[in-house]
Structure 1
């Protein structure tokens, strides 16, 4: 027998379908507000019945006269967005007939509920706003303060559970980190929201962490990484990011046993801005050949050729190309079939598009907590649609060999205090460019 769901849960699913574009409507914003208003009404009515009966949806009564839930009755509320149908729970078996004070109150307060719905979608519900909408003409609160708090904190509780969960179940092989700048406070500069996701050793793609940061400096990003480390995140083979100095330094500090990959999509955009249009096709082809070479040794030879041919004509472009070159070709250490997936942070960029799409529907989501709620709601649902990659037994052996090689390099660096092979090769190519 299928377990019946409260009406509010069905409405929540419809709201999520609309947000995720599984439900197509002509006016998405209007339907979004209507569904959110309906959800608030149904959750409020269900909380009122719970308070009256003294038990949750699936709990039975203690005896005669306690009352019981007896299905639902349809109601309709007129609003500026049009008529909104909702389901009101019915109660039977009580000593005195149950009458919903909240339902009677709703008829003349549709505007407050619509504002509350927008608040829920764009900024996250506050207890004060909910209480204001659910007070009668005499100022009496129609819901218990417990019910008010539960409605307001549900999304935030979901985010906190996500941000505090144990990561030991994820054997992360490839870790990606990036930030999206959002205007958290009116009139202020945009501030970065950091996100991290990864590929596990089994090929699953998982969203790992979201955090608001005042800037992408070393201390902030290190705290972001240390939070994941504190929740049992291990050493990945490869950590992928853009070239933000704070992120780069934090990776090298927090993941000393991992290789660092610089996002090639960001790097190619940097190069395109420094090369004249008529020279770009050839420069791009040669840079791409180096970045996508069969091995790091061949990549270094191709880079040396590009430097020799373009150093006099395009010194700034060559300097950009050689900057952090070893990090640009770090992906060449890993199995060939994985390289395309790990040389950019593009998957995170697509997640940020999901988040911005929601902000366009309901703008002005001011505040760190509201923006994190929006990011969490949009990005976790987008991450649910990620498909795993297939990792063969041969590729697992290759990954294990890379792990052993990285560990050996780290131990040699610690034990002898000598430059790593990456530093030696960078110096070799730099000296070639000078000559």
Structure 2
């Protein structure tokens, strides 16, 4: 692998696979995609493991290190518990961006159907703001409007605001590509 990648996207996908002697079972495909400093996209690898876990991802990251990838500016991942710590153990200098799409989808799944459109609009003001400061102001409005009704949802966004809003530290032209683990999801934001 190249020694340096600007951005690395890590995401797991659950698939049904045929295992001889077991039949069809669900397993996780771990996928690592990289964007080099010159903008070249590269599949860094994919792995089939029984389940998605931070320990599994740490093994994948260790393999990427062994294959020569020494520096990553920013990892973009979902909110899998323990994953940011696994990244820090292997790539301590790298930053972490939590996938906004995963965060929004989870948040909307936790609220009443009649509140989804309004909450989605308010969250869009957070990640769609023109600056980090404007985003933090919009997050305060989300907290005031929704915090008492949905403390778990709002707590997630407040607690992980640094990770959800990390993309604001990069050039604006890159924001749509850094908010999500899925390069195709940028149009849905």
So what's the TM-score if we normalise by structure 2? 0.85
Once the two structures are TM-superposed, the CA of residue 200 in structure 1 deviates from its matched residue by 0.9
Equivalent positions of 1:140-289 (< 5 A) are 167-168=1-2, 171-184=4-17, 185=19, 186-187=22-23, 189-289=25-125
Give the drift of 1:188. Answer: 6.4
SS in 1 for 2:129: coil
Which secondary structure state, in structure 1, belongs to the residue aligned with residue 125 of structure 2? helix
* Structure 2 gaps, min length 5: none
- Closer/same/farther in 2, CA of residues 200 and 274 from structure 1, 3 Å limit: same
Unaligned runs of 5+ in 1: 1-166, 350-435
1:207 Cα deviation from its structure 2 partner:
0.6
Matches within 5 A, 1:316-355: 316-347=152-183
Check the 8 A contact 1:262/1:343 in 2, yes or no. yes
What are the equivalent positions in structure 2 for 1:21-60 lying under 5 Å apart?
A: none
Q: CA deviation at 1:241?
A: 0.8
Asked whether the 8 Å contact 1:178–1:241 carries over to 2, the reply is yes
User: Distance between the aligned counterparts of 1:244 and 1:188, measured in 2?
Assistant: 25
Give deviations 1:133-181, integer Å, cap 9, x for gaps: xxxxxxxxxxxxxxxxxxxxxxxxxxxxxxxxxx12x631011011122
Secondary structure (helix, strand or coil) at the match of 1:196 reads strand
Find the aligned partners of 2:125 and 2:73 in 1 and give their Cα distance: 23
| Distance apart, 1:199 and its partner CA | 1.0
Distance 1:301 1:253 in 2: 33
Q: Residue 246 of structure 1: CA displacement? A: 4.0
How many aligned residue pairs are there? 182
SS at match of 1:183: strand
Q: 1:314 to 1:218 in 2, by over 3 A?
A: closer
Deviation of 1:265 (Å): 1.3
Q: Deviations over 1:371-411 (max 9, x none)?
A: xxxxxxxxxxxxxxxxxxxxxxxxxxxxxxxxxxxxxxxxx
Matches of residues 38-117 of structure 1 in structure 2 within 5 Å?
Answer: none
Equivalents in 2 of 1:264, 1:270: separation in Å?
Answer: 10
Deviations 1:223-245 (A, max 9, x none): 11011111221322210111111
What per-residue deviation string (whole Å, max 9, x for no partner) do you get for residues 60-98 of structure 1? Answer: xxxxxxxxxxxxxxxxxxxxxxxxxxxxxxxxxxxxxxx
- Equivalent of residue 312 in structure 1, options 148, 157, 180: 148
In structure 2, relative to structure 1, the CA distance for the partners of 1:248 and 1:188 (3 Å cut) is: farther
Higher normalized strand content (fraction of residues): 2
Q: How does 1:338-377 map to 2 (within 5 A)?
A: 338-347=174-183
- Cα distance in structure 2, aligned partners of 1:323 and 1:212: 32
Structure 1 segments of 4 or more deviating over 3 A? 186-189
Contact 1:216 1:247 in 2 (8 A): no
The structure richer in helix per residue is: 1
